[in-house]
Amino acid sequence: MIALVHLSTRYIQWPEPGGEDFKKRSEIEEQSKFPGCVGFLDGTDIVLQYAPSFHGETYFNRKKHYGLNLQGICDSEGRFSYISTAFPAGVGDATVFCETEFFKTPNRYFSQPEEYIIADKAYQVTRRCIIPYKEPLANRVVEGYQEFNQRLASARVKIEQAFGILKKSLAFAQGITYLYSRQIGSCTCCMLDYSMCGSSQLP
Q: What pLDDT, in 10s, does the model give residues 118-152?
A: 999 999 999 999 999 998 888 888 888 999 999 99
Contact status, residue 128 vs residue 117, Cβ threshold 8 Å: yes
75 torsion bin: left (phi>0), alpha (psi -120 to 50), beta (else): beta
Helices (H), the chain: 2-11, 25-32, 93-98, 101-104, 145-169, 180-197
Cβ of 99: how many Cβ atoms within 10 Å?
14
In the chain, the amino acid numbered 29 is E
Cβ of 5: how many Cβ atoms within 10 Å?
16
Distance CA 86, CA 143 (A): 40
pLDDT tens string 26-85: 889 888 899 999 999 999 888 777 777 777 788 888 888 888 888 999 998 888 899 888
